[in-house]
Amino acid sequence: MAHLRHLVRCRSFAFFFVLVGYAHGDLSYTVQEELKRGAVIGNIANDLGLEVGKLSARKARVEVENNNKQYCGINLRTGDLMVAERIDREEHCGEKPSCVLKFDLLLENPLELSGTVVIHVIVLDANDNAPVFTQTVYTTSVKEDAALKTPVIIVSASDADEGINGEVTYEFNRLSEKAKKMFSLNQKTGEIVVGGEIDYEDGSKHEVFVEAKDGYGLSSKAEIIIHITDVNDNAPVINVKSLSNLISENVSPGTEVGIINVQDSDSEENGQVRCSIQQNVPFKLVASIKNYYSLVTTGQLDRELVHQAFVYSIFFGGWGWYCSYTENDVLNFLNFISIVVARNKLIWMHFFKSTINLL
Bridge partners, 132 (sequence order): 158
Query: How far apart are the C-alpha atoms of 201 and 142, rounded to whole Å?
Result: 14
Query: How far apart are the C-alpha atoms of 151 and 136, rounded to whole Å?
Result: 20
Domains, the chain, in order of start with CATH, read: 4-124 (2.60.40.60), 132-229 (2.60.40.60), 237-358 (2.60.40.60)
Q: Are 89 and 97 in contact (CB under 8 A)?
A: no
C-alpha R_g of the chain: 42
Report DSSP state, residue 53: H
What pLDDT is attached to residue 310? 41
Which of 99-103, 186-190, 312-316, 352-356 is the most confident on average? Answer: 186-190
Q: Which residue has the higher pLDDT, 164 or 284?
A: 284
| 253 band by pLDDT with thresholds 50, 70 and 90 | confident
| 268 band by pLDDT with thresholds 50, 70 and 90 | low
| 204 band by pLDDT with thresholds 50, 70 and 90 | confident
3-state class of 269 per DSSP? helix
pTM to 2 decimals? 0.47
- Three-class SS of 315-332: EEEEEECCCCCCCCCCEE
| 258 band by pLDDT with thresholds 50, 70 and 90 | confident
What pLDDT is attached to residue 288? 82
| Closest by CA position to 30, among listed 13, 9, 47, 45 | 13
What pLDDT is attached to residue 211? 94
280 has a pLDDT exceeding 90: no
Which of 38-42, 61-65, 119-123, 209-213 is the most confident on average? Answer: 209-213
What pLDDT is attached to residue 60? 80
